[in-house]
Amino acid sequence: MKNHFFPNPFLIMGLFVVAFTGCDKHDSLLDRLWPKAYTTVERAIQADPLPGGEAPDITDPASFESKGYGKWHYGDGLPFDKKTDLMPAGYNSSLAENEESLLSFFAFTDIHITDEESPAQAIYFRRYLGMNAVSVYAPLMLYTTQVLDAAVNTVNKIHKRHPLDFGIMLGDLSNNGQHNELRWFIDIMDGKAVHPDSGADDDPVPGPGNDHQDPFMAVGLDPAIPWYAVVGNHDHFYIGSKPYSERLRRVLVGNQILHIGNILSDDPAEMDKETISTGSIAGNSVNCEIIGEGIVAQMTDFPTIPADQDRYAITVDDYIAEMSNTTSLPAGHGFEQANPENRFKGCYSYIPKMGLPLKVIVLDNTQEDSDVSRIYGHGSLKNGRYEWLIKQLQTGQKEGKLMIIAAHVPIGVAFGEEVGWFDEAYERALIKELKTYPNLILWISGHRHLNTVKAFPSDDPAHPENSFWAVETKSLREFPQQFRVFDIVLNKDKTLSIFATNVDPDIEDNPLAAVSRSLALASQQIYNLMEPFPGSGPISHNVELIIPLSPEMQKKLAK
């Protein structure tokens, strides 16, 4: 890919400085000015081979390293896989020579900032969740704040060499819909002091900056990069799966570990039972020690934890309001707009770059509390959100704007009943409707913790532009803890290339994030998640997605 980005003014200043001071001819000028942030194009994380023998217990992270788990190295980079699925038959992809960069942005998703000492978790249920067990218990859950800080630092480094127009957070910023979790996320983005500890002030390893509970000063996102937020199911549901009842809300801020029934059951009455103690993590533990877990009738010890009023459960309205309590830009991170008609609760749209006819449509496509559902992780556009989306698409098409939809739940790529849409027929009808807008080019999402790409080709061969791509991004919490950088480029043949690049957070300056990477890999290995399961795609995957433009947009972008 050619570099078509506008020169950074500070880079130009640096050129003059080096020109007058001199430098060795073998020195890299950019390396002298700013440290390099590598993407998976240059190098990719590879797991070291396991030595064989019995796998360690997931609850015993102290044994991971001695048993050969969690060890990794950098291997060769991953090239861009050029995909032309949306192009007419016989299309010559060699004609898609990059001409002009239009837009660059980064996407974080499923950060799952975790208050591991929360009394209302689902740790006990890891026994029954198979591949999803890593989401409710893994030692990596201790270090989510440090991983986010490392990712922000990496974005800043990328921005110095490759200017980014904005960033977008694709939902599940918090793990349990708690105020303190969301607050830690925002404070890290703002570059404030963060103390990722709840209840008592714990210090598992005496001294500053050497354990997951220690306060730290976050790097903060470069102020030149605005960031926007999307609502995820974990941002307002108990463990992303159930609406908060009044009893659950009381448990969150109290000192008693949650007792509940089988939350995986279809029977809603299980939520009111007290047969299972779900467990929490000891605040003074460096090894993710579980406390208070088991069948209540068989337990003799019921440990308590320090209460904390800041653990309270938030609603979608609370989530939106908290986005205005921040020092980074823009105000409200998308939710606060001059035109109130442009927002339908958790939905809004914005123009990311002046002079570029493109808008981003942000959808809250999580379920409503009023739904009757076994697990509340499905996609839904009830209560006016579907109508709002169609109006946004119609307006964007009429105004001659390219369009990107950003939502938490993906479309058309669900694997398993709990992460698809609430109504599959409804989803199929939505996909058919989306194909009637030739200016829609991309749907981006998270939710499934996967790196996947899917083409939605036109149903009319005479109009290949009635098509779009869907791209999912891996969770920042779980191995390999990646985010994506997107580049939209105009090609000489008047098509667009969408480059989607995986990036590993730079951990060289963040030893706790480095610990998290090893724990994340070991967790993946222990839970047997290293091999992609059907429909998931590769763990890491860089792509160049070619998309046709309508004749009208070809003319507009050529001006």
Check whether 511 has a pLDDT greater than 50: yes
* Distance from C-alpha of 124 to C-alpha of 291, rounded to nearest angstrom: 10
User: Which distant-in-sequence residues (6+ apart) come within 8 Å of 494 by Cβ?
Assistant: 549, 554, 557, 558
Cα dihedral sign, 375-381-384-388: positive
Check whether 131 has a pLDDT greater than 90: no
Structural domain tally of the chain?
1
Please, what is the Cα angle at 513 between 531 and 511, to 5 degrees? 130
* Distance from C-alpha of 56 to C-alpha of 63, rounded to nearest angstrom: 6
Six-digit token pair at 85? 């699925």
User: Which residues face 227 on adjacent strands?
Assistant: 167
User: Which residues face 500 on adjacent strands?
Assistant: 486, 543
> Is residue 300, in this structure, part of any structural domain at all?
no
Q: Is 434 exposed, middle or buried (0-12, 13-18, 19+ CB in 10 A)?
A: buried
> Is residue 263, in this structure, part of any structural domain at all?
no
295 sits in which H/E element: strand 290-295
* Distance from C-alpha of 338 to C-alpha of 431, rounded to nearest angstrom: 30
Residue-by-residue DSSP string for 481-535 = --EEEEEEEEETTS-EEEEEEEEPPP-TT-HHHHHHHHHHHHHHHHTT-SSPPTT
Taking only the tens place, the pLDDT of each residue in 148-185 is 999 999 999 999 999 999 999 999 999 999 999 999 99
Check whether 548 has a pLDDT greater than 80: yes
- Radius of gyration of the chain measured on its C-alpha atoms: 24
Contact 343, 386 (CB under 8 A): no
Taking only the tens place, the pLDDT of each residue in 522-534 is 999 998 877 655 5
pLDDT reported for residue 22: 39
203 half-sphere exposure, CB direction, 13 A CA radius: 7
Residues present in the chain in total? 559
Q: Which of 33-37, 204-208, 246-250, 309-313 has the lowest mean pLDDT?
A: 33-37
* Distance from C-alpha of 265 to C-alpha of 9, rounded to nearest angstrom: 58
Which residue type sits at 381?
Answer: L
pLDDT-based confidence at 343, cuts 50/70/90? low
pLDDT-based confidence at 426, cuts 50/70/90? confident
> Averaged over 97-103, what is the pLDDT?
93
Segments of 55-183 assigned E as strands: 72-76, 81-83, 98-108, 166-169
pLDDT reported for residue 546: 97
What's 555's DSSP letter?
H
User: Which residues face 362 on adjacent strands?
Assistant: 348, 406
> Is residue 157, in this structure, part of any structural domain at all?
yes
User: What average pLDDT does the structure give for the chain?
Assistant: 90
Q: Is 504 exposed, middle or buried (0-12, 13-18, 19+ CB in 10 A)?
A: buried
Give the CATH number for residue 172: 3.60.21.10
Strand 259-260 to 193-194 pairing: unpaired
Check whether 66 has a pLDDT greater than 50: yes
pLDDT-based confidence at 375, cuts 50/70/90? confident
Residue-by-residue DSSP string for 424-451 = HHHHHHHHHHHTT-TTEEEEEE-SS---
Contact 405, 363 (CB under 8 A): yes
pLDDT-based confidence at 536, cuts 50/70/90? low
> Is residue 463, in this structure, part of any structural domain at all?
yes
Check whether 353 has a pLDDT greater than 70: yes
Q: Is the peptide bond before 480 cis (omega within 30 degrees of 0)?
A: yes
Which residue type sits at 104?
Answer: S
Q: Is 388 exposed, middle or buried (0-12, 13-18, 19+ CB in 10 A)?
A: buried
User: Which distant-in-sequence residues (6+ apart) come within 8 Å of 401 by Cβ?
Assistant: 357, 358, 359, 439
> Averaged over 7-22, what is the pLDDT?
39
Which residue type sits at 457?
Answer: P
User: Which residues face 81 on adjacent strands?
Assistant: 543
Segments of 153-196 assigned E as strands: 166-169, 193-194
Check whether 50 has a pLDDT greater than 80: yes
Percent pLDDT > 90 in the chain is 77
Please, what is the Cα angle at 495 between 494 and 496, to 5 degrees? 125
User: Which distant-in-sequence residues (6+ apart) come within 8 Å of 321 by Cβ?
Assistant: none
Contact 305, 280 (CB under 8 A): yes
Instruction: Report helix, strand or coil for 463.
Output: coil
Residue 386: give the domain boundaries.
Answer: 80-116+145-199+212-232+313-558
pLDDT reported for residue 535: 57
> Is residue 279, in this structure, part of any structural domain at all?
no
> Is residue 34, in this structure, part of any structural domain at all?
no
> Averaged over 275-299, what is the pLDDT?
96
pLDDT reported for residue 15: 37
Identify the CA nearest to 504 among candidates 522, 486, 488, 517: 517
> Averaged over 364-371, what is the pLDDT?
92
pLDDT-based confidence at 7, cuts 50/70/90? very low
Dmax over Cα atoms in the chain, in whole Å? 78
> Averaged over 105-122, what is the pLDDT?
97
Taking only the tens place, the pLDDT of each residue in 461-494 is 999 999 999 999 999 999 999 999 999 999 999 9
Percent pLDDT > 70 in the chain is 90
Check whether 521 has a pLDDT greater than 90: yes
> Is residue 125, in this structure, part of any structural domain at all?
no
Contact 90, 467 (CB under 8 A): no
Check whether 4 has a pLDDT greater than 50: no
Contact 306, 284 (CB under 8 A): no
> Averaged over 329-343, what is the pLDDT?
76
pLDDT reported for residue 383: 87
> Is residue 532, in this structure, part of any structural domain at all?
yes
pLDDT-based confidence at 431, cuts 50/70/90? very high
Taking only the tens place, the pLDDT of each residue in 406-420 is 999 999 976 555 667
Strand 227-229 to 216-217 pairing: unpaired
Taking the CB of residue 443, how many other CB atoms lie within 10 A of it? 25
* Distance from C-alpha of 551 to C-alpha of 559, rounded to nearest angstrom: 13
* Distance from C-alpha of 81 to C-alpha of 502, rounded to nearest angstrom: 12
